[in-house]
Amino acid sequence: MLRTHNCGELRIGDKDKKVTLCGWVQKVRDKGGMIWIDLRDRYGITQLIMEEGKSDAAVIESARKLGREFVLLAEGTVIERLAKNNKILTGDIEIKVSKIEILNSAKVPPFIIEDETDGGDDLRMKYRYLDLRRNTVRQNLELRYRVGIETRKYLDGLNFIDVETPVLIKSTPEGARDFIVPSRINPGEFYALPQSPQTFKQLLMVSGFDRYYQIVKCFRDEDLRADRQPEFTQIDCEMSFITQEDILNTFEGLIRHLFKVVKGVEIGTLSRMTFADAMKYYGNDKPDTRFEMKFVELDELVKGKGFNVFDAAELVVGIAARGAAAYTRKEVDELTEFVKRPQIGAKGLVYVRVNEDGSVKSSVDKFYSEDELKKWAEKMNAQKGDLILILAGEAKQTRGALSELRLEMGKRLGLRDKNKYSCLWVVDFPLVEYNEEEKRWFAMHHPFTSPKPEDIHLLKTDPGKIRANAYDMVINGVEVGGGSIRIHNRDVQEQMFKTLGFTEEEARAQFGFLMEAFEFGAPPHGGIAFGFDRLCALFGGADSIRDFIAFPKNNAGRDVMIDSPSHIEQKQLDELNIAVKKK
């Protein structure tokens, strides 16, 4: 090694040692007679010191040539600092430099390489290799590494084994769009990149692998919304000879382990909520349960009093925002604007203030007496000082809008604390949902999810009523993982494809290998996949996954650093037997 120590490890106990350090110049302070350099590497910062007259003239001369981000090799002796710095672990010592070698020079970086940077997103992404020098970004990736290795430790301890599944697989039209890869050796044919290793992990169960995991790249060619990446990473797991209960316990254990070792937080036992309750009380299948503010349905109390908006509504439902009765007119107007935004789509907002003096005041006083309003408050368990917010309309849409409003109120009231964690399982999802546009049933999770045995008879007659053995893990309103018990019986799988509108030929062409596998002794099995990027962002207390990925793509799917995707040579296209279409 060019160095004897890294920049984070020397302590007062190393005093008088001759050492060699390597690293980047974080800062140079030249006070006439004295020069200090903060030398930085991944492990920390160590201060170098030189003194005119005392240090070698060549050393002083070298030091005066240095700029930010120069790469140095410095030899010297560990001495005790006069002015200690208790903010860094090496703060008791400094290095009295006897020799400096410039290993590489550096142009002035396009943005400041510190925790708070002046680099905007575009610049940071173009020079991602410089952005990654910043402590904050590097620490995110170190956290990601730790989550990964602790995941492996936990699963290894339970006899799970990592089996690599192929990346060049087969395109299947069900679900999101595939990325495809032309085959040169098989002209006119294409591989697809996996959206998940789903069928392969199921086949591993058929093979008797019993417990499988993989931390694996997956791919979806979707229109990129904020914070979606075309390639993303899953913690992908599958087990045989289990019930849903076993899966929930095993992977609740994983998350408990990760919170403990990575965050030092004990999260205890996860609560469970049915999909039906999540929709009823939170209007959302991934409720943020860091705060209560549950939905209360008011139809019985509010209808038939001449207020047409409520009378005509399929659903009237409200929340009580603790301590928000003092909201100004302007603040309430803001909330009204919030729910009327097109992406939320409510027609209006009814409020009821439950004042500190016990009086009640609403935006619909014309239609309801104070006594009536008090009954609403009572049903909603609203206290003095609360603000009741009510939406009305078509049931599904209204729940969705109220869910957004609830989250907004949670944010405004400071109830969505990044350092608090509320984890739960949402269970008993519907197996399928009807798509009005395409006029057919779609799998809520995927076509391999097993119906609950007691609901299986409804497959042919009333699929919408079937509950699935499916479950999502939700933390702070984010779905971090989801999975299901799988179908392991050929007939049920065939019936499922039929329900989803596959012809027999389509089912056979796309998933014939899986259905055939089920005939050769498939064990009962099930599994789960966690969104690894998202989980890491959650542990890091960030909203965006982007800074938990070393080299992310932007919202147009571009890597602006390497400038990809890009045009390729005609020769490559010819070899692949494809052509780019003329506009």
Q: For residue 438, which amino acid is it?
A: E
- Under the criterion CB under 8 A, does residue 112 sit at the interface with a copy of itself? no
Question: What string marks each residue from 136 to 165 as x (binds a copy of itself by CB under 8 A) or -?
Answer: --x--xx--x--xx--x---x----xxxxx
Near a copy of itself in 76-105, by CB under 8 A: 103-105
Near a copy of itself in 466-525, by CB under 8 A: 488-489, 513, 517-524
- Under the criterion CB under 8 A, does residue 257 sit at the interface with a copy of itself? no
- Under the criterion CB under 8 A, does residue 553 sit at the interface with a copy of itself? yes
Q: How far apart are CA 222 and CA 119, in angstroms?
A: 28
Say which residue the tokens 């009954």 belong to.
375
Question: Binding residue for a copy of itself (CB under 8 A) from 51, 114, 122, 189?
Answer: 189
Say which residue the tokens 């006083």 belong to.
365
Q: How far apart are CA 319 and CA 388, in angstroms?
A: 6
Whose Cβ is closer to a copy of itself: residue 17's or residue 490's? 490
Question: Binding residue for a copy of itself (CB under 8 A) from 79, 88, 123, 169?
Answer: 169
Question: Binding residue for a copy of itself (CB under 8 A) from 88, 167, 276, 500?
Answer: 167
Q: Which residues contact 572 (CB under 8 A, 6 or more apart)?
A: none
Q: Could you please report the per-residue DSSP string of 200-225?
A: HHHHHHHTT--EEEEEEEEE--PPPP
Q: Which residues sit opposite 100 in a β-bridge?
A: 74
- Under the criterion CB under 8 A, does residue 414 sit at the interface with a copy of itself? no
Question: Binding residue for a copy of itself (CB under 8 A) from 27, 33, 129, 543?
Answer: 129
Whose Cβ is closer to a copy of itself: residue 467's or residue 525's? 525
Task: Calculate the CA 181 to chain-centre distance.
Answer: 27
Q: How far apart are CA 38 and CA 340, in angstroms?
A: 53
Question: Binding residue for a copy of itself (CB under 8 A) from 36, 190, 441, 442?
Answer: 190
Closest alpha carbon to 281 in 291, 295, 262: 295
Question: Binding residue for a copy of itself (CB under 8 A) from 207, 363, 495, 544?
Answer: 207
Helix (H) or strand (E) holding 491: helix 490-499
Q: How far apart are CA 486 and CA 477, in angstroms?
A: 26
* Angle made by CA atoms 410, 540, 234, in degrees to the nearest 5: 105
Q: How far apart are CA 221 and CA 229, in angstroms?
A: 9
| Minimum CB distance to a copy of itself, residue 464 (Å) | 28
The number of residues that bind a copy of itself (CB under 8 A) is 123
| Minimum CB distance to a copy of itself, residue 521 (Å) | 4
Q: How far apart are CA 218 and CA 202, in angstroms?
A: 16
Token pair listed for 498: 């039929």
- Under the criterion CB under 8 A, does residue 438 sit at the interface with a copy of itself? no
Q: For residue 194, which amino acid is it?
A: P
- Under the criterion CB under 8 A, does residue 106 sit at the interface with a copy of itself? yes
| Minimum CB distance to a copy of itself, residue 203 (Å) | 4
| Minimum CB distance to a copy of itself, residue 206 (Å) | 5
Near a copy of itself in 32-61, by CB under 8 A: 40-43
Whose Cβ is closer to a copy of itself: residue 240's or residue 422's? 240
- Under the criterion CB under 8 A, does residue 544 sit at the interface with a copy of itself? no
Q: How far apart are CA 121 and CA 229, in angstroms?
A: 16
73 C-beta neighbours (distance < 10 Å), count:
16
Question: Binding residue for a copy of itself (CB under 8 A) from 10, 19, 22, 95?
Answer: 22
Q: Which stretch binds a copy of itself (CB under 8 A): 29-37, 282-290, 441-449, 570-578?
A: 570-578
